[in-house]
Amino acid sequence: MKATLLIKNIENLYTCSEDDTILKNAFVAMHHDRIIDMGVHDPKEWIDDATRVIDARGECVVPAFIDCHFNTPDDRLDGDRMRKESDALYLMRMNGILTLISRDPQMRRRELFQEVVISRHIPKIPIIQGVPQEPVEPPILLSCGMNSLPHKMYSMQPLAFFLHVYCGIGAYCLLKAMTCNPAREYGLKELGEIRIGFQGDLLVINKPTIEAYFSEVGVQTIHRMIKAGIQFFPYIMRS
């Protein structure tokens, strides 16, 4: 078995594992939708003529983002609701949010490059959806706050920027609030981490560190998006 997609020369690979492992000058190998190897050793054993290889030199790789509190826009007309749902999901996907969790059964959908799962679980850790009025203590969950804010945001990065720069919350804590924390809290057992056997949902960020990613706002720095082992942004790369 060889890799169908392999990302090499990763400046920093943020696994979001329980021990907060960061691998430098690393690679991730995927066979179709699954991660089959990762690390800092030579990945050539996984490569053949059919393997798609991405060079992430100078970039970092993180798990794809998860929004744990996505609910439908409040519209009476079904047509308006469906259009706004589709628009919101597209904009969130373009900001690296490839999995969403909703309490509304009508929101359930599974598309090739994005999924909405349904859960009525009440999380034990706080969900931050906007600028906090009180000090924030990790662990936390982040959300775009689609059902609560008058001015909708389709990315968690601006909120993470504020929490990092103005509230002093560590970048890795914020990354976990968008990845492994919601995955563990809501029982998404193969998402939220970069681990052998997990689904290959990854983002390649055009920054060497997540500290750099969370230190600016208003700039698209997600270079590549991969869902279930397939790169779909900036273009579809099939094996």
pLDDT in tens, 121-180: 999 999 999 889 899 999 999 999 765 555 578 999 999 999 999 999 999 999 999 999
Instruction: Quote the distance between the C-alpha of residue 228 and its chain's center.
Output: 12
Are 96 and 128 contained in the same domain? yes
Q: What is the pLDDT of residue 238?
A: 77
What domain range is 163 assigned to? 65-185
For residue 238, being part of any structural domain is answered with no
CA atoms of 237 and 133, how far apart (whole Å)? 43
Q: What is the pLDDT of residue 79?
A: 60
What does the pLDDT average to over 86-107? 93
What's the pTM?
0.95
Task: Let me know the angle formed at the C-alpha of 224 by 221 and 228, rounded to the nearest 5 degrees.
Answer: 135
What does the pLDDT average to over 207-215? 98
Are 30 and 74 contained in the same domain? no
Q: Which helix (H) or strand (E) holds 17?
A: none
The structural domain count of the chain equals 2
* Antiparallel, parallel or unpaired: β 5-14 and 60-63: parallel
Q: What is the pLDDT of residue 151?
A: 59
**58 Rama class: left (phi>0) / alpha (psi -120 to 50) / beta:** left
CA atoms of 174 and 181, how far apart (whole Å)? 10
Instruction: Quote the distance between the C-alpha of residue 51 and its chain's center.
Output: 24
Does 24 have pLDDT greater than 60? yes
Are 30 and 137 contained in the same domain? no
